[in-house]
Amino acid sequence: MTAALSNELNQAFQKMQDDPSVKAGVIISAKPDCFLAGADISMLAACESEAEVTNLSTGAQKQLADFEAGPKPLVAAIMGTCLGGGLELALACQYRIAVNDKKTALGFPEVKLGLLPGAGGTQRVLSSVLAVDQALKLVLTGSTLNATRAKKAGLVHEVIQPLGPGIQSASDNTLAYLEAIAVDKACELADGKLTPSKPTLSLVQKVMRYFVGTAYGRGVFFDRAKKQVMAQTKGLYPAPLRIIEVMKTSMAKGSAVGYREEAKAFGQLAMTSESKALFGLFFGHTECKRRRFPAPVKPVK
């Protein structure tokens, strides 16, 4: 999610709102194997202050809040990687469809960069994922879910099967099929013929929701999570602990406070030495994948 892409999305969203002939919208990637892989890390690395990063987070939160609250429904059509800012964008849409393909993966990898989701992800995942412990685990560990597991968890509303090859490749056929279904669902949402629904909570999930909804239950649940994090990290990585604090605060004081705490924590974490070191590893890993066999420094003799 670069600044340019963010601006293009804003322009398209505003154009959709201003055009009375448009009743709904679909967000889909032209790349078959990637919906959106996350934020532009180089943009974050270029920030020089906590306030600068916090402002980026606040701006992204507002953008997705506008998408979520817009009068015209949005459908996220997911094929391939849907990580970080990509999943935050999808969760701001009123309906989500995912392709049941081995390359489809949904998750929040920000913790692996010493960060937390900064565009409202810590808040929306709590309301989207059925199991509170699974919502916390997704953000704390950076683990991913395939399409089937994402639907079971409540992250997506519908899963479709991929198509085989024909005149076009299998991936191109599937992408076109996904787009057609997404457009149909968008029209149904606009006409009031479709109401997004989630899987029914199990008894255990209902009990957990109730338990964590109490002050005592929250204390027990998040204290246990903190002890597990400390046992694994020895307190050397601040991001997991801040994630626990932000999500606990959100459940105790509401999402309005939660959004502010998320943006504040995002700014603070981005300026830590741990995050900067993990950024460096990320850039190095990316460069190694891009240039597996670089030119030799000295001529071979």
Whole-number Å distance between alpha carbons of 279 and 273: 10
Q: One of 110, 142, 147, 186 is an active-site residue; which one?
A: 110
**Annotation marks residue 110 as catalytic:** yes
Q: One of 25, 37, 38, 39 is an active-site residue; which one?
A: 39
Q: One of 85, 107, 118, 120 is an active-site residue; which one?
A: 85
**Annotation marks residue 88 as catalytic:** yes
Whole-number Å distance between alpha carbons of 72 and 223: 41
Question: Which residue is associated with the tokens 């002050």?
Answer: 215
Q: One of 88, 119, 153, 263 is an active-site residue; which one?
A: 88
Cα 11 → chain centroid: 21
Q: If DSSP codes are grouped into helix, strand and coil, which group holds residue 96?
A: strand
**Annotation marks residue 39 as catalytic:** yes
Residue 48's closest CA among 271, 263, 282, 273?
271
Distances (CA, A) of 20 to 2, 23, 24: 29, 7, 10
Q: If DSSP codes are grouped into helix, strand and coil, which group holds residue 295?
A: coil
Q: If DSSP codes are grouped into helix, strand and coil, which group holds residue 282?
A: helix
Point out the residues that are catalytic. 39, 85, 88, 110
